[in-house]
Structure 1
Amino acid sequence: MIYVNGRFLTQNITGVQRFAEEISLELIKIRSDVIFLVPDLNAVKKKELLNVIKIEEVCGLSGHLWEQITLPLYLYKNKRPLLINLCNTAPVSYPNQIVTHHDITYLKFPKSFPFSFRLLYRLIAPLILKNSKHIITVSDFSKKEIVTNYRCPLDKISVIPNAYSDIFKPYITKTDLQKKENYLLAVSSTNFHKNFHGLIDAFLSADIDMDLKIIGGSADVFKKLELDQSHPRIHFMGRVDDDQLVALYQNANAFVFPSFYEGFGIPPLEAQACGCPVISSNSASMPEVLGDSVLYFNPQSKSEIVKALELIADNHELRNKLVTYGFKNIKRFSWVKSANKLNNIIQNFNG
């Protein structure tokens, strides 16, 4: 049997959990010996998954304590099977495991995280990476960052990229295409490195007649970042379900991704899959993920963001070209391909 650390099933969806869920759903199509271990069946967020995947409850403690104590004890009692960890954390004391480390944002942008979070990751990340059999990350950019900062051997790390779900798709009929609304869309968590503060500052200075809709986190969280919420053209949408998210992508005039630092960045691919043109930061992994399919800007430069916003707002022909380029770009990524890569790694270490 292959066991998967299923703690992610009890967490709210961000990019990390999206990776874990989507690749898991494809992995179980490839092999029938996968069991997901969770601390509490009642805590699983998507109840429909209980009927789709094999889930076993391992009771005792919760959160990080479950992951560091209860989970490895259970595995040691069951002949030390291979454990797959698809999010950033894993049991420190369990060597027969494959771990996933999406990026090292906690080192590069400590301002984005509470002190307790930074301390935890600084303590356990090097131990997890050192003690594991193999490491997965989501881009060549992240692989280089991990190798440089943790001195991991290159051959110990494999790149398995993110992709986008099939629910993200464009409108089909000509009537639907006329539903585009007059707004720009941004989707992400509210950490400092996501650069919502820079986007809002540039948006308020740009000469455009559009609204800005921001998805991710609550208005209260944005208040803590001291973002301007008073402008009538800026709308904080909070968390939305997948159907709402698809509709927002489909109806937007353009999608904006202003992040300083990303190990991968799934939202731009989701936008492109929905037929939404993308303008993006040129930092970190974004050129690797998006290639020549977007209009880039320097996220540290307010004037460049303003220029990109004004250009995408005024140039209908450019938006149409970016939609076409986006459809071409997303063909490079597939959860099926990524799950097959994971399965190959599992076979190498489960002999």
Structure 2
Amino acid sequence: MRIAIDCRMLNCSGIGTFTRGILPFIINSTNDEFLLLGDKTLLKEYHRPNVSIQHCTIPIFSIKELLFFPVRLINQCDIFYSPNYNIPIGINIPIVSTIHDVIFLDMDHLCSVIGKIIRQGYLYYAISRTKKIITPSEFSKSRILHHFSTDKKIIVCYNGLNEKINRFIQSNKRKSSSGDYIVFVGNIKKHKGLETLIQAFELAKQKGLKKKLLIIGSRDNFKTSDTVDFDTLDESIVFTGRLDDEELFMTLQNANALIQPSLYEGFGIPPLEAMTLGTPAIISDIPVFKEIYHDFPVRFFKAGNIDDLADALLSDYTTEPLGKTLSAKYSYERTANMILKELHTI
């Protein structure tokens, strides 16, 4: 089988992380041939005898995508797989796509009315054109079915851990006792709950918390019209700047705890990474986190509740590294194999 895969978001967070996670395992299928569409510079590491690369940097959800996407080349393949719900017009071979969430339909305030209508249109088109839908959680599956009446097969394939984290652990790097900070990994989008975390952190400091809060990322990337004014924050809140994988793992490993205060997620990777490294996770009690983490020793707090999160920050939190346990359940190799199976049974 010849499989075309849209890899244009390879260097992005979120969908890019997912694509980078599954791609090495998918192209290991020596019974198949693959056409990867994306930036040839980023894709060169995936070159194999059974892999060809088509340079394509056309932005997703763009007019250029509608007019100039290389559909003729794609239509020479047997199947097209998209890790997102942007399905270019003109593809006449079977399509399988991953819909990670429908957050813009569930949380109206994240975009304008017109933005919501546009996204709803893209989602509707993707669902109508795809043969099977891949999604990362039962929660996301339920929300897709809530918004769209479809009898298409929806397959839940959980996300996995970055393979590099296992290599980091195997390199015998040990957890240091010097870290006296808690850490947030994410972005400023309202559903990530950073505003709640900062207010809870300030309240916990008033009650005696002595730790720092490290926000993984650049302060410039967190500029927003939201109510958080980052220019007024004191030295106890630190922006780390962009970290490479090893720096991120080291920072997570030496943290006292990871805080994930999200109001909405389709899955949620950072708590997995933290617990794999032996760092406790304090997470909101949103449905998807209850689904993913109910069997693990996380500390839940009421989503959006500043007082409850402040109490959690002041509590004692310890855990043992859960690498083997988590890797067995949340593996991109497992996810890739499930996707390949679905591609082969169209």
Question: Secondary structure of the equivalent of 1:151?
Answer: coil
Between the aligned partners of 2:194 and 2:295, the Cα distance in structure 1 is 23
1:344 aligned partner, one-letter code: K
Once the two structures are superposed, the pairs formed by residues 1-351 of structure 1 within 5 Å of their partners are 1-9=2-10, 11-12=11-12, 14-38=13-37, 40-42=39-41, 44=42, 48-49=45-46, 54-57=51-54, 62-63=59-60, 64-71=62-69, 73-75=71-73, 78=76, 81-94=78-91, 96-113=94-111, 118-153=116-151, 156-169=153-166, 176-206=174-204, 207=207, 208-216=209-217, 218-229=219-230, 230-293=233-296, 294-311=298-315, 315=316, 318-320=317-319, 323=320, 328-349=325-346
TM-score by length of 2: 0.87
1:20 deviates by 1.3
TM-score by length of 1: 0.85
Cα distance, 1:174–1:122 mapped onto 2, change above 3 Å: closer
1:130 aligned partner, one-letter code: S
1:124 deviates by 1.0
1:275–1:327 Cα contact (<8 Å) kept? no
Once the two structures are superposed, residues 81-113 of structure 1 have per-residue CA deviations (whole angstroms, 9 ceiling, x without a partner) of: 310111232225535200110001111224334
Residue ranges of structure 1 left out of the alignment (5+ in a row): none
Cα distance, 1:284–1:348 mapped onto 2, change above 3 Å: same
1:139 deviates by 0.5
Question: Secondary structure of the equivalent of 1:296?
Answer: strand
Between the aligned partners of 1:76 and 1:256, the Cα distance in structure 2 is 42
1:167–1:246 Cα contact (<8 Å) kept? no
Identity of aligned residues (%): 26
Between the aligned partners of 2:57 and 2:187, the Cα distance in structure 1 is 30
RMSD of the alignment, in Å?
2.8
Question: Secondary structure of the equivalent of 1:7?
Answer: coil
1:202–1:302 Cα contact (<8 Å) kept? yes
1:262 deviates by 0.6
Once the two structures are superposed, residues 205-253 of structure 1 have per-residue CA deviations (whole angstroms, 9 ceiling, x without a partner) of: 0031100011145435334334243221101224321111111111111
Cα distance, 1:60–1:102 mapped onto 2, change above 3 Å: closer
1:135 deviates by 0.6
Select the structure that is richer in helix. Answer: 1
Once the two structures are superposed, residues 119-138 of structure 1 have per-residue CA deviations (whole angstroms, 9 ceiling, x without a partner) of: 43122111111111111100
Between the aligned partners of 1:212 and 1:147, the Cα distance in structure 2 is 38
1:27–1:343 Cα contact (<8 Å) kept? yes
